[in-house]
Structure 1
Amino acid sequence: MSTPPVLFEHVEKYYGPLHVLKGISGHVDRAEVLAVIGSSGCGKSTLLRCLNRLETINQGRIVVTGIELSQPALTRKQLRDVRSQIGMVFQQFNLFPHLSVLDNLTLAPQQVLNRSKQESQERARFYLEQVGLAEKIDAYPDQLSGGQKQRVAIARSLCMEPQIMLFDEPTSALDPELVGEVLEVMQQLADKGMTMVVVTHEIQFARDVANRVLFLDQGLIVEEGPAREVLTNPQSDRLHTFLRRMRQA
């Protein structure tokens, strides 16, 4: 059986004396959406950052697109190659404020993938159309709403044509009325078969869109399984309490 695009085994992560991830293991299959949920500080964002080697781990093994990110001898080329196959969308949009939307989308494909200016611009137009922002191609970030900025950030990641998309609470910085437009784009990606890992507090989105859910608590995987089943009928008291609090929020 082939290795899944994302595999993590017995992952330990410390920040000084703080034990953030405590030997957790899991995987993401091709074209699967994995939702990672849990209270703030449980380790879910740290896990996501480890999957892109924005953070290194203290122990365990992480393999993404066939490259072991946890190996000490990982070369710059290997890291660059694997990162070119992973799109990451953060809580904050991280757009370059001095660049237009078009330039934000074409910078990395030209500099990292050595795409021509024409090809990069064609891809940018295509993906802006996909996220419903074709008319904003010449706008600057300060001329966009929060939801539009996040959709531009998603389009920017897609311009790199990644195999995997990582989302770190992409709606947490948005006003409530703007959340839906970002979640709609993410649902469209899922429908098209994009492999996705989504750290989120949007429980309904996790239930309706994710294939599986992973519930983290204090650095441990407390419960995991099919999203609708786990979120409708939690087996652990801790997840039951977490979901009740989320409904009341």
Structure 2
Amino acid sequence: MKKCRKFLCYMLISSLFFCTNFSPQTSQAAAKNDISVYLNGSKLKFDVQPYIKKGRTMVPFRKIFESFGVDISWNAASKTILANNSHTDIFLQINKTEALVNGFKTELDVAAEIIEGRTFVPLRFVSENTGAEVNWDGSSKTVYISYVFEKHKLGETSHYKDLEFSINNVDIVSDGKIITIVGKTNLPEKFLLIEAFDESGRYETGLISITGQQEDKYRFESNLYLTKPFKPKTIVVKTTSDANKQIKISEYNLN
């Protein structure tokens, strides 16, 4: 009988040890330590490590937004995050799979959540809606983010891979209801999207049209037809990545 009790005690302790050491929380913690995030070649250091949920990398919200130079505010009562810069406004609510990006509803694959008192957001959603390019290396569990921080003045040349372009003039007519943005590019077939933002964050969008050639560059225009006066403050230029995602490749300040 004693031998039987010892055997049962041994099995019980072994079972408890197994459950403790191989619980989902422990497995998740181990997975957290394996994920690395690089922004423009520099590794981001998180005080709480990222983890993967439903195939999406989750990261502490404050660190990732601040790494993009985005201002953030947290409302503890409503459990909401508001993040904004000169060309992006993102509104997230904890445990909600619907967000607002520049006033438009956007679906999230995974909602922001609070784990042990820390708020986590889906890395790809935040990065891509800020205008960054995101790549995932599954073999090394590494996220590589490319993001353009530089800001230019009118007439300065921007570069993205083999693309060279510039915004040279912004003409406003008809009491601010027609805006013509003029620039140059070396790749006339390259998709370019123009986004013009005013002081309040309101924005208007237009595609470019090639209107002529000047030596080794091609002149382009983008016409924005508005229903009410609009005074642009910032011009953002976007193109599509290899993954067919829109990414920011330049920003021009008009002040």
State the TM-score bracket (shorter-chain normalisation): under 0.3
Q: Larger RCO: Structure 1 or Structure 2 (Cα < 8 Å, ≥ 6 residues apart)? A: 1
Answer with 1 or 2: which has the greater Rg.
Answer: 2
Q: With the length of structure 1 as denominator, give the TM-score of the two structures.
A: 0.25
- TM score, norm. by length of structure 2: 0.24
